[in-house]
Amino acid sequence: MTREKEIAQKIYAIVGPKDNIETVTHCMTRLRLHLVKDADLDELKAIPGVLGVNQNGDELQIVLGPGKVIRVADAFAALLDGNEAPTPNDSKEMPAFLASKGRWGTAKPSMKPFGKKTPRRQKPFCAKWRPSSCPLFRALWAAVF
């Protein structure tokens, strides 16, 4: 059993049966649940792998972190459907960028490595504070002369 599947099972055990869960979505870092009845936030925070829990109106947000939330959301959706949660070795169920040989894939050939930036030419001080460029200095200039 993978760690993400264990996290999904523990979350499912706390938030209740399938009837208590209205919708399940995720963003880049959070699993977002709309529940009929509220869940115990302290129990959710105690799950290893859960970075935080937020209650935003009627939406429960479980902070898992980037990358991990996709696998936990897939395992959670599989639990709701009554199916076995996908494993990381199952390339048919996993997104292509996660199932590839390298974790983050290979770099694009068009990407350039970081190099030296060309230095910007500094403007002289008098060019920045020229009286004709600032209304306050124009007023002071007119008062002097």
pLDDT tens-digit readout, 109-122: 544 555 556 666 66
pLDDT value at residue 44: 93
* Angle, CA of 138, 142 and 145, to the nearest 5°: 135
Q: Which residues are catalytic?
A: 27
Return the DSSP state at 83. Answer: S
pLDDT value at residue 30: 93
Over residues 68-81, the mean pLDDT reads 90
pLDDT value at residue 42: 93
When the pLDDT of each residue in the chain is averaged and rounded to a whole number, the result is 75
The three-state secondary structure class of 108 is: coil
- The answer to whether residue 62 scores a pLDDT higher than 90 is yes
Q: Which residues contact 52 (CB under 8 A, 6 or more apart)?
A: 45, 62, 63
pLDDT value at residue 69: 93
Report pTM.
Answer: 0.57
Strand runs labelled E in 13-126: 21-26, 30-35, 52-56, 59-63
Residue type, 18: K
Q: With bands split at pLDDT 50, 70 and 90, how would you rate the model's confidence at 107?
A: very low
- The answer to whether residue 103 scores a pLDDT higher than 50 is no
pLDDT value at residue 83: 67
